[in-house]
Chain A
Amino acid sequence: EVQLVESGGGLVQPGGSLRLSCAASGFTFSSYEMNWVRQAPGKGLEWVSYISSSGSTIYYADSVKGRFTISRDNAKNSLYLQMNSLRAEDTAVYYCAREDLLRCFDYWGQGTLVTVSS
């Protein structure tokens, strides 16, 4: 059974940093591209970042470019999102999502809440 479990969310002050993790199981993690998607309270879904299966190709949404860094450790079946210079508008539930060969997000984690507030 495919499982994605996010962790690392919490309350952080504006300008602070946080590192999210996503532990994957039930599939060959190193064969799949992965993404982070977020959802602000009461708002819609927003794609955040993409990383290829090897980690060699990375994309970011303009809203996080230069502040967030996506990475992965295929030996540990884990995906990460390093978030720096956090702003109030980064407050959201952050989901990791597996991208299948058809370029869609076929499995999602349960999400981890990040709150940026003083």
Chain B
Amino acid sequence: SYELTQPPSVSVSPGQTARITCSGDALPKQYAYWYQQKPGQAPVLVIYKDSERPSGIPERFSGSSSGTTVTLTISGVQAEDEADYYCQSADSSGTTYVFGTGTKVTVL
């Protein structure tokens, strides 16, 4: 079955930049999306179509894509950004959605 692979954890000091990668064979053909999830809460969309930011999401969140890897970048990390982050996409047929393995961002 199709998988999206993320690093389990990323640690960053306040004000620094956090980068989270997501790798999958179908990413050149399918858009990727990123969600932030804080403990006990539902996920929130932070990036859509690889690099677009929904209204209300801070400008410090950005996305990029290169080949089979997409990247979520959080510039000038703040304490409130500490959360789990998941990428999401579809397989090459578009009939199966998949979430990445998830990355815990810790703000030191």
Cβ–Cβ < 8 Å partners of A27 in chain B: none
Option from B1, B45, B86 in Cβ contact (under 8 Å) with A45: B86
Q: How far is the CA of A55 from the CA of B96 in the complex (A)?
A: 17
Q: How far is the CA of A105 from the CA of B54 in the complex (A)?
A: 12
Option from B1, B42, B45, B99 in Cβ contact (under 8 Å) with A44: B99
Say yes or no for A61: interface residue by CB 8 A criterion: yes
Q: Is the interface of A mostly helix, strand, loop or mixed?
A: strand
Please report which residues of chain A, range 61-92, place their CB below 8 angstroms from some CB of chain B when the two chains form the complex: 61-62
| A105 and B35 contact, Cβ closer than 8 Å, known pairs A62-B1, A111-B42 | yes
Q: How far is the CB of B108 from chain A (nearest CB, A)?
A: 23
| A61 and B96 contact, Cβ closer than 8 Å, known pairs A103-B31, A104-B48 | yes
**B102 close to A105 (CB less than 8 A):** no
**B35 close to A45 (CB less than 8 A):** yes
* Total chain B interface residues with beta-carbon distance under 8 A: 25
Please report which residues of chain A, range 1-58, place their CB below 8 angstroms from some CB of chain B when the two chains form the complex: 35, 37, 44-47, 50
Q: What 1/0 flags go to A86-108 for Cβ under 8 Å of B? A: 00000000010000001111101
**A46 close to B95 (CB less than 8 A):** no
Closest to B52 in A: A102
User: 14 A-B Cβ contacts within 8 A?
Assistant: A37-B99, A45-B102, A46-B99, A47-B88, A50-B97, A59-B97, A103-B31, A104-B33, A105-B35, A105-B45, A106-B48, A106-B54, A108-B43, A111-B42
Q: Contact residues of A with B, CB < 8 Å?
A: 35, 37, 44-47, 50, 59, 61-62, 95, 102-106, 108-111
